[in-house]
C-alpha cells in the first residue's frame, strides 16, 4: 500500500529549499522553522495528565494508539484523497514515529470524508519530522495540490494573526508579497491565491507569528500604495473568520443562483455545450468511483471552479424575497454515525438544487444582520445558534452539490418524469420501522415522489417516498412521507433538512406519527 514513497534522504537535505512539485498555488517555503512551536502552556490547559488506567477514547473512525508525550503536537493533515481512510494513511505517517491518534474528518451528518485529518504522534519530535518531510512535498494520488502537514488550529489558532491582502498586482508572487510584509514581523505562511490555471487572483494570505505583528503590517501597509494595474490601493486586513467566510460563500452562492439580481439572465439550454456534457459525464463517473471506494484519477477530482459552474447552471430563478431562520430542537440522542452514501446512484436524476437556498436575499446588509433582519422577529436571541443552523444547512447543500454534481445539471423542467424510475421494485407504499419514517411539509408544489426521494437520498437508503396529491386537481398537497431503512438516516435528514428553505417556504421535517398515536381509541 505504499502509494507514497517518501525518500529518506529528503529529510536530511536542509541546505536548500526543496522545490514543491507543483508550480501553482503553493505556500512559500520559509527560511524560518517550518513548525512554529506553541508554548507548552498554550498546548495543555489541564495540568492533570490522563489517568493511566483508562483507555483512550476510541471511536470507529479513529486510530488510537499508545500514550503521547505531554508536549505532543496535534497536526492537521490536508489534501488527502477522499478514498483514503485511517488504515491507508497510517503507513505514510508511521515512518516518522509512533502514532498516538489519527482520525480522518467526516461530516457529522452525511459521513462524507472531508479530505483532511488530525494526527498526533506520541512524540513531539515525530510531528516536527513529519511536517518537515511531508508538508507541501508530495501530492497524493488524485489530488491536484500537495499534502498539508502542519499544527492544527487548535494548537495555536491562526485567525487573529492572519491577513488578507487584496488589490495586489496579478504578477506579484509569494516572494514579492513576502518581501512586502517581512519588515513587520516573522511570517509563518504566505500564499498567493490562484485560479486553476495558476494565475494570481490578485490577493494573498499572510500569516504572522503574532497578532501585533499582523496589526502593525495593517497599520503600515493598508492603503499605502496602489500596485500597477490594480484598481485601488492595497488592502491589508485580518482574514475572515470561519463564520464570516461561510457567510460570504453563501452570498456568493446567492449571486450564483440569481437571487440577488433577478434581472440577471438565466442560463438556458444553450449552456449545454459538448464541454458541459463531457463534464457531466466525467463528474458522474467520479461519483461512481467515489461511491465504490475506488481511486479517483486526477482528472476526476472536483475543482471548485467546476462546482461553481454547476451552481450557475442550476438556478431557476425562483423568487425569494424573504428569509427566515428557524431554530429547531435537535433530536435528543443523535448519536448514530452518519448515514452512508446510497449504494446505487440514479443514472439520471432530477435537479436537486434548483431554487434551494438557506440564503438571505437582501443586498447591502451586513451579513450577520441579514440573518436576523428579515422582517420577522428572530426566533431566538441566543445568537450563534441560528447562524450555525443556517451554516450547517448550507454546508449540506454544498456537499449535496459535491456528491451529485451531475444531478444538478439536468435542466429545470426535465425531471425524472421523463426517465425510468430509479428505484423501481424497491419502491412500494411502505414504511420502515418506527423512527425511520418522516413527515415532510411545505414541499414545493412541483415536487413529486421522485423529487422528494432525491432530496433525501443523501441521508441514507430511502425505501419509499410519497407526495400526497389532491384527487380532484391532481396537484400536490405539498406534503409527503419518506421512509429510510434506519433511524439514524431519518435523524440525519431531520437535522439537515428541517427548516430548509425552498423558495419562500421552509420545509418541515419530522418523524411521522406512529399509526396508533393518530388513532386514539
Partner DNA sequence: TATTATT
**Among residues 279 and 502, whose Cβ is nearest to DNA?**
279
Find the shortest distance in angstroms from Cβ 116 to DNA: 4
Q: How far is CA 164 from CA 91, 180, 189, 202, 252, in A?
A: 36, 13, 12, 11, 18
Among the residue ranges 240-248, 400-408, 423-431, 453-461, the one whose residues contact DNA (CB under 7 A): 240-248
Contact criterion met (CB below 8 Å) for 145 and 371: no
| Contact characters 12-41, DNA, x per CB under 7 A | -------------x----------------
Find the shortest distance in angstroms from Cβ 163 to DNA: 9
Contact criterion met (CB below 8 Å) for 296 and 80: no
H runs (alpha helix) in 160-273? 174-181, 211-221, 242-256
Residues constituting the chain:
521
- 478 touches DNA by CB under 7 A: no
Of the candidate residues 34, 36, 37, 116, the single one contacting DNA (CB under 7 A): 116
Whole-number Å distance between alpha carbons of 472 and 214 = 68
Among the residue ranges 64-72, 245-253, 448-456, 496-504, the one whose residues contact DNA (CB under 7 A): 245-253
Residues 6+ apart with CB under 8 A from 512: 431, 437, 438, 439, 481
Of the candidate residues 7, 304, 321, 475, the single one contacting DNA (CB under 7 A): 304
159-198 binders of DNA (CB under 7 A): 162, 164, 166-167, 191, 193
| Contact characters 90-109, DNA, x per CB under 7 A | -------------x-x--x-
- Binding residue count for DNA, defined by CB under 7 A: 40
Find the shortest distance in angstroms from Cβ 441 to DNA: 31
Find the shortest distance in angstroms from Cβ 151 to DNA: 8
Q: Which three cell numbers stand for residue 81?
A: 484523497
User: In 3D, which of 11, 24, 33, 17 has the Cα closest to residue 187?
Assistant: 33
Of the candidate residues 43, 84, 127, 239, the single one contacting DNA (CB under 7 A): 239
202-221 binders of DNA (CB under 7 A): 202-203, 205
Strands (E), 212-333: 235-238
Find the shortest distance in angstroms from Cβ 234 to DNA: 9
**Among residues 106 and 419, whose Cβ is nearest to DNA?**
106
User: In 3D, which of 475, 473, 456, 476 has the Cα closest to residue 464?
Assistant: 456
**Among residues 13 and 154, whose Cβ is nearest to DNA?**
154
Buried b (16+ CB within 10 A) or exposed e, 201-239: ebbbbbbbbeeebbbebbeebbeeeebeebeeebbbebb
Find the shortest distance in angstroms from Cβ 317 to DNA: 24
Residue with cell 496535534: 74
Contact criterion met (CB below 8 Å) for 249 and 311: no
402-421 binders of DNA (CB under 7 A): none
Q: How far is CA 482 from CA 331, 354, 497, in A?
A: 18, 20, 12
Find the shortest distance in angstroms from Cβ 509 to DNA: 23
User: In 3D, which of 320, 496, 467, 498 has the Cα closest to residue 403?
Assistant: 496
Find the shortest distance in angstroms from Cβ 150 to DNA: 6
Contact criterion met (CB below 8 Å) for 482 and 456: yes
Find the shortest distance in angstroms from Cβ 510 to DNA: 25
Of the candidate residues 232, 261, 268, 421, the single one contacting DNA (CB under 7 A): 232
Helix-, strand-, coil-residue percentages of the chain, each rounded to 5 = 35, 15, 50
Of the candidate residues 34, 152, 327, 469, the single one contacting DNA (CB under 7 A): 152
**Among residues 244 and 485, whose Cβ is nearest to DNA?**
244
Find the shortest distance in angstroms from Cβ 98 to DNA: 19
- 479 beta partners: 441
- 439 touches DNA by CB under 7 A: no
- CA angle at 110 for the pair 109 and 116, rounded to the nearest 5°: 100
Find the shortest distance in angstroms from Cβ 218 to DNA: 12
Q: Work out the widest C-alpha separation in the chain, in whole angstroms.
A: 84
- 387 touches DNA by CB under 7 A: no
Question: Edge to edge, what strands does the sheet with 99-106 contain?
Answer: 62-64, 99-106, 113-121, 74-78, 148-151
Among the residue ranges 242-250, 262-270, 273-281, 338-346, the one whose residues contact DNA (CB under 7 A): 242-250
Among the residue ranges 208-216, 230-238, 330-338, 454-462, the one whose residues contact DNA (CB under 7 A): 230-238
Residue numbers of the site for DNA (CB under 7 A)? 25, 74, 76, 78-80, 103, 105, 108, 114-116, 118, 145, 148, 150, 152-154, 162, 164, 166-167, 191, 193, 201-203, 205, 231-232, 235, 237, 239-240, 242, 245, 248-249, 304
Amino acid at each position: 500500500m505504499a502509494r507514497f514513497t517518501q525518500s529518506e534522504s529528503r529529510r536530511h537535505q536542509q541546505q536548500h529549499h526543496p522545490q514543491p512539485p507543483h508550480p501553482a498555488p503553493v505556500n512559500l517555503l520559509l527560511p524560518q522553522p517550518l513548525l512554529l512551536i506553541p508554548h507548552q502552556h498554550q498546548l495543555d490547559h489541564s495540568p492533570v495528565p490522563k489517568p493511566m488506567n483508562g483507555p483512550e477514547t476510541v471511536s470507529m473512525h479513529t486510530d488510537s494508539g499508545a500514550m503521547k508525550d505531554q508536549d505532543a503536537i496535534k497536526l492537521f493533515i490536508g489534501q488527502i484523497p477522499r478514498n483514503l481512510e485511517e488504515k491507508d494513511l497510517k503507513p505514510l505517517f508511521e515512518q516518522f514515529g509512533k502514532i498516538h491518534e489519527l482520525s480522518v474528518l467526516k461530516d457529522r451528518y452525511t459521513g462524507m470524508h472531508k479530505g483532511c485529518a488530525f494526527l498526533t504522534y506520541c512524540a513531539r519530535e515525530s510531528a516536527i519530522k513529519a511536517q518537515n518531510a511531508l508538508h507541501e512535498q508530495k501530492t497524493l494520488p488524485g489530488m491536484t495540490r500537495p499534502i498539508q502537514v502542519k499544527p492544527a488550529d487548535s494548537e495555536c489558532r491562526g485567525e487573529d494573526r492572519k491577513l488578507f491582502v487584496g488589490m495586489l498586482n496579478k504578477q506579484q508572487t509569494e516572494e514579492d508579497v513576502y518581501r512586502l510584509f517581512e519588515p513587520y514581523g516573522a511570517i509563518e505562511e504566505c500564499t498567493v491565491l490562484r485560479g486553476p490555471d495558476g494565475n494570481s487572483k490578485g490577493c494573498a494570505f499572510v500569516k504572522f507569528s503574532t497578532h501585533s505583528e499582523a496589526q502593525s503590517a495593517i497599520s503600515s501597509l493598508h492603503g499605502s500604495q496602489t500596485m500597477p494595474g490594480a484598481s485601488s490601493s492595497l488592502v491589508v486586513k485580518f482574514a475572515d473568520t470561519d463564520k464570516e467566510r461561510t457567510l460570504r460563500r453563501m452570498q456568493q452562492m446567492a449571486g450564483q443562483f440569481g437571487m440577488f439580481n433577478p434581472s440577471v439572465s438565466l442560463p438556458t439550454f444553450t449552456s449545454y455545450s459538448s464541454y458541459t456534457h463531457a463534464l457531466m459525464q466525467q463528474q458522474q463517473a467520479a461519483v461512481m468511483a467515489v461511491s465504490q471506494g475506488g481511486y479517483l484519477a486526477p482528472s476526476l477530482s472536483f475543482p471548485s471552479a467546476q462546482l461553481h459552474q454547476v451552481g450557475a447552471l442550476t438556478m431557476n430563478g425562483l423568487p425569494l424575497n424573504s428569509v427566515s431562520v428557524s431554530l429547531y430542537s435537535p433530536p435528543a440522542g443523535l448519536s448514530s454515525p452518519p448515514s452512508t452514501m446510497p449504494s446505487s446512484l440514479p443514472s439520471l436524476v432530477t435537479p436537486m438544487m434548483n431554487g434551494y437556498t438557506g440564503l438571505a436575499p437582501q443586498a447591502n446588509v451586513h451579513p450577520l444582520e441579514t440573518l436576523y433582519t428579515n422582517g420577522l422577529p428572530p426566533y431566538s436571541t441566543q445568537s450563534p445558534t441560528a447562524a450555525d443552523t443556517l451554516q450547517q444547512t448550507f454546508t449540506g447543500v454544498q456537499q449535496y452539490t459535491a456528491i451529485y454534481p451531475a444531478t444538478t445539471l439536468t435542466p429545470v423542467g426535465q425531471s425524472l418524469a421523463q426517465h425510468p424510475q430509479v428505484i423501481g421494485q424497491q419502491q412500494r407504499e411502505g414504511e420502515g420501522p418506527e423512527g425511520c419514517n418522516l413527515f415532510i411539509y411545505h414541499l414545493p408544489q412541483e415536487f413529486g415522489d421522485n423529487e422528494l426521494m432525491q432530496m433525501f437520498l443523501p441521508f441514507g437508503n430511502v425505501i419509499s417516498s410519497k407526495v400526497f396529491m389532491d384527487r380532484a386537481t391532481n396537484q400536490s398537497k405539498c406534503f409527503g412521507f419518506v421512509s429510510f431503512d434506519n433511524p439514524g438516516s431519518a435523524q440525519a435528514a431531520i437535522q439537515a433538512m428541517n427548516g430548509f428553505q425552498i423558495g419562500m417556504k421552509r420545509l418541515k421535517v419530522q418523524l411521522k406519527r406512529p399509526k396508533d398515536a393518530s388513532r386514539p381509541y
